[in-house]
């Protein structure tokens, strides 16, 4: 396999965690002998339009996205609707590229992304595309907060996956499992977390930002109806 196009489906565009992850897969792809990939942002009009054309021209497409309300972001579904004519092309004997996906979510467990993985696998079948697999990764929101050193193992997994895509046309099962990390918490761990989550101090991702933005006292605001009482 030779040409790859990377589609960044994050509404945040260039500054997204999805983009950072796709860039590492691209490095592995080149290390595995593939040409330098084209990178397009679906959140930009020009990137979106080019991505529709590029689908027909590439050997392989890797579509990366953050999980938005437990599924693909709206702009990714819009892209999928825009390439709908490719279903008929494939049915008439035409060729569609090999397609792989990357789904990252802010939740720490991989399980949240499994239902959309099932959809994406079916999408590949619908398009008559060879399915390279779906890279699933939890705790994606922490990527931009961590020093690069802390992300090193993640980057190594993503490079390996890119290399596998270039050489075998698909991601290796063992590597997909490794990159996914924690699938779900064990019962004792979730019981412990359940207690710990009630401590406001644990919400370390959010509290400093509430304070910085001057909305600490207003953080439970409920502008459209009665608020839930605290502690629930």
Asked if 206 interacts with another protein (CB under 8 A), we say yes
Q: Return the residue of 46, 149, 173, 222 that touches another protein, per CB under 8 A.
A: 222
Encoded tokens for 168: 């075998």
Asked if 224 interacts with another protein (CB under 8 A), we say yes
Q: d(Cα 71, Cα 82) in Å, to the nearest integer?
A: 18
**CB closer to another protein out of 149 and 201:** 201
CB neighbours (10 Å) of residue 14?
13
Beta carbon of residue 58, minimum distance to another protein (angstroms, whole number): 19
CB neighbours (10 Å) of residue 29?
26
**CB closer to another protein out of 118 and 153:** 118
Q: d(Cα 139, Cα 105) in Å, to the nearest integer?
A: 6
- Write each residue from 152 to 181 as x if it is in contact with another protein (CB under 8 A), else as -, in one continuous string: ------------------------------
Asked if 145 interacts with another protein (CB under 8 A), we say no
Q: d(Cα 12, Cα 10) in Å, to the nearest integer?
A: 5
Asked if 49 interacts with another protein (CB under 8 A), we say no
Parallel, antiparallel, or unpaired for β 98-104 and 60-66?
Answer: parallel
Site for another protein in 67-106 (CB under 8 A): 68-75, 77-78, 80-81, 84, 87
Q: What is the DSSP letter of 15?
A: G
Asked if 199 interacts with another protein (CB under 8 A), we say no
């Amino acid at each position: 396999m030779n040409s790859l196009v990377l589609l960044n489906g994050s509404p945040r565009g260039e500054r997204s965690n999805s983009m950072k992850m796709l860039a590492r897969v691209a490095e592995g792809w080149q290390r595995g002998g593939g040409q330098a990939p084209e990178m397009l942002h679906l959140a930009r009009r020009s990137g979106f339009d080019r991505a529709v054309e590029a689908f027909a021209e590439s050997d392989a497409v890797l579509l990366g996205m953050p999980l938005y309300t437990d599924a693909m972001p709206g702009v990714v579904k819009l892209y999928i609707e825009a390439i709908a004519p490719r279903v008929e092309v494939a049915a008439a004997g035409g060729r569609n590229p090999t397609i792989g996906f990357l789904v990252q979510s802010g939740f720490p467990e991989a399980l949240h992304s499994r239902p959309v993985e099932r959809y994406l696998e079916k999408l590949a079948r619908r398009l008559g595309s060879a399915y390279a697999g779906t890279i699933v990764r939890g705790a994606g929101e922490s990527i931009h907060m961590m020093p690069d050193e802390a992300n090193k193992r993640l980057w190594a997994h993503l490079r390996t996956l890119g290399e596998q895509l270039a050489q075998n046309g698909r991601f290796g099962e063992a590597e997909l499992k490794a990159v996914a990390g924690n699938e779900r918490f064990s019962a004792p761990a979730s019981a412990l977390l359940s207690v710990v989550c009630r401590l406001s101090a644990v919400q370390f991702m959010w509290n400093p930002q509430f304070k910085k933005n001057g909305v600490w006292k207003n953080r439970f605001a409920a502008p459209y109806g009665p608020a839930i009482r605290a502690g629930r």
